[in-house]
Structure 1
């Protein structure tokens, strides 16, 4: 009886499709510059309206135009470069802002515009890093002191000017601190987003692996059931078919022989049903202990007299062997005997099994016509299933045959368990 082809196959697990890797979510604290521009604009206009001297329309226009230009420059930069401005362009923009800050300060009669200069190291922190920002902050403070030294002799003994310098220095420190905190928070958020992305990607990959393992496990179980059906039901149904053919051939010539053949066919069918019940009990974990010598003796007893003469020789101690390994030898003997009865046209079949200290060895030898030349695995799926079963048990199968000189099947399995069969 030919079994279905093996369906177990290995394949690489496909890489799951995941969402794109996260990126930085935008510029940190983008609201600082607009708020500062608005505060300077409101303070300067209020001073012009509430001051004692009438404001100069040209200076007010230059003051407002400078702040509007600064705001528009920031909007354009954020639209063109949402996350980070290239260093070359960032340097050019710092220069442009410095010129605009100076122009706004020159047009500001209230004197509030010098606070805008804290935005230079603040912006430089995001584009060039901490060292450049600190150096630029020191430069801005130095320029303020130099400007006061040139334009206001003795400023350092005037409390108002000293207070202005101290407040400007404090503003620089606060701006650098805010920039450092914002950059650190952005980096932490980016790392967290990347970590979450990697977790999602790993989860998707593990899900794909689990699905593939489930597929391979199901395929392996189908293979195992296919081998069981072939080796158990196939053997008994083949025997029943042979006996029914014999009964049909002797029905008119020797009724007694035909009736014995029918009885043997019924017996084979009953044994097939018993195999099914045994398999169900095994799947439920209710099967009793398996004895190889007893099972082989029963197998030979049922076959002897219905075709070639079958002899059995057993030796060694099977008590230390795994039940799966012993059942592998039994199924191999079943397959070899079925082939000998169906195809070999043999007059004698010798079965011998020896359970040694390290390995058990089964030999099934017949004196039939042998196998014709050619790839033997392609002649049916029985030998393929035998090889699969024995390989899972960690053993080997050897087949020698020559036309007209019989066939010998040798199977060895190790004493230690080598996996489920």
Structure 2
């Protein structure tokens, strides 16, 4: 028992592991058992050569044992999909083979030889193709040896030759059926594995999609926060400054107060227009943005002499997209707002230089400065932090130079998005 188990287990390690027979062939052994049982009992009852009752009873018990072995194996696979141990599978095969010999010995009809085609058939599922072929050849050789030893002149007997051919054909069909069933089972296993992988991938994709949605929401929230601060925040600051100026000069300089009120109204209208532009941008209806004109308009309404604001533009903005030009405009707004609110500057200079590979915007004032922005503990405000994020998203750089009493210089550099040569010739404009 142990030697045979090891012999059958050796090819198993090199071929397929023990697997459950496919549903399409589960009925094969039962049908053969039933046919052999019916033929044997029928022959015992009505045959020309009556059999002893004890022989018939042994025949029936042996066939019942075959049914019981099949039922036990199927019950195992109903409880679990785990493979049978090699020793157990070999033991079942040996038990079946022993019962086949008992059935053949007790069968007067002679049909029981067909049971031996089940040897390579069941071995295919338990130990793989190689073991099945070896056992099939062994069964065919055993039948041939029996004819050689027990039947004189068998080679001239048409019935003996027919039995050998039919048995060989049965063996071929049994192995072929096991091969097809195994292929079907493996294909079903691959499909089930693919479905499990797809289900797992789908769940991962759902997780990724949720993460992307979360990140997109956070990114859009940050973008809206920057837009609100850079646009509405700037104009509301300007409105507050102009209203304070109008109130201060209401009795001293009526013209200056009226101009301050006019500038406050302009800032309010400009804030409303930028809100509308933001809404149009969200609807993909944004209009082309001209940075030079926007900066000139901004400086014209801010330049009221306190501080004095000048603008210098060199080159053409052709080749830079709306996102880059808007970022430069927001940088100019932030620099001017900080200069007016905090720097106590006498003069602020805004300059833009469009180059062949990049554009550079600088807002420089001669005010009190903000100290060293890189010093430990120095934390930029939300405006500068949002501006830095905006510039970095466009692949640019933001730099700030400042010292107490020496003014502040804010610089933004952005790369050109289209090759040089498509724009107009460089010009210098100063206001």
TM-score tier, shorter chain, comes to 0.7 to 0.9
After superposition, residues 205-216 of structure 1 pair within 5 angstroms as 205-216=204-215
Is the counterpart of residue 308 in structure 1 residue 289 in structure 2? no
| Cα deviation 1:2-40 (Å, max 9, x = unaligned) | xxxxxxxxxxxxxxxxxxxxxx99422111111111111
Instruction: Tell me: higher relative CO, structure 1 or 2? Use CA pairs within 8 A at least 6 residues apart.
Output: 1
Is the counterpart of residue 363 in structure 1 residue 362 in structure 2? yes
CA distance in 2, matches of 1:350, 1:244: 24
Q: Tell me the CA shift for residue 113 of structure 1.
A: 1.3
Question: Is the 1:377–1:384 contact (alpha carbons within 8 Å) kept by the matching residues of 2?
Answer: no
| Cα deviation 1:265-302 (Å, max 9, x = unaligned) | 22321221122223233444444432222211111111
Q: Tell me the CA shift for residue 342 of structure 1.
A: 1.1
Equivalenced residues, count: 395
Q: Which region of structure 1 is more displaced relative to structure 2, 63-72 or 76-85?
A: 76-85
Is the counterpart of residue 27 in structure 1 residue 28 in structure 2? no
Q: Tell me the CA shift for residue 58 of structure 1.
A: 1.5
Partner of 2:47: 51
Partner of 1:354: 353
Gaps of 5+ in 2: 1-17, 420-431
Partner of 1:69: 65
Partner of 1:262: 261
Partner of 2:3: none
Partner of 1:201: 200
Q: Tell me the CA shift for residue 55 of structure 1.
A: 3.0
Q: TM-score, normalised by structure 2?
A: 0.84
Is the counterpart of residue 143 in structure 1 residue 145 in structure 2? no
Question: Is the 1:86–1:127 contact (alpha carbons within 8 Å) kept by the matching residues of 2?
Answer: no
Q: Tell me the CA shift for residue 314 of structure 1.
A: 1.4
Question: Is the 1:359–1:414 contact (alpha carbons within 8 Å) kept by the matching residues of 2?
Answer: yes
After superposition, residues 387-402 of structure 1 pair within 5 angstroms as 387-402=388-403
| Cα deviation 1:247-267 (Å, max 9, x = unaligned) | 344556666654443333223
After superposition, residues 6-405 of structure 1 pair within 5 angstroms as 26-28=20-22, 29-81=25-77, 84-251=83-250, 257-305=256-304, 307-373=306-372, 374=375, 378-405=379-406
Compared CA separation, residues 76 and 285, structure 1 to 2 (3 A) = closer
Question: Is the 1:314–1:353 contact (alpha carbons within 8 Å) kept by the matching residues of 2?
Answer: yes
Provide the alpha-carbon RMSD of the alignment.
Answer: 2.4
CA distance in 2, matches of 1:145, 1:320: 92
Compared CA separation, residues 364 and 376, structure 1 to 2 (3 A) = farther
Gaps of 5+ in 1: 1-23
Q: Tell me the CA shift for residue 407 of structure 1.
A: 1.0
Q: Tell me the CA shift for residue 222 of structure 1.
A: 2.6
Q: TM-score, normalised by structure 1?
A: 0.86
Compared CA separation, residues 355 and 138, structure 1 to 2 (3 A) = same
Q: Tell me the CA shift for residue 377 of structure 1.
A: 7.0
| Cα deviation 1:59-97 (Å, max 9, x = unaligned) | 122111111111111221222246543333222222121
Question: Is the 1:62–1:107 contact (alpha carbons within 8 Å) kept by the matching residues of 2?
Answer: yes
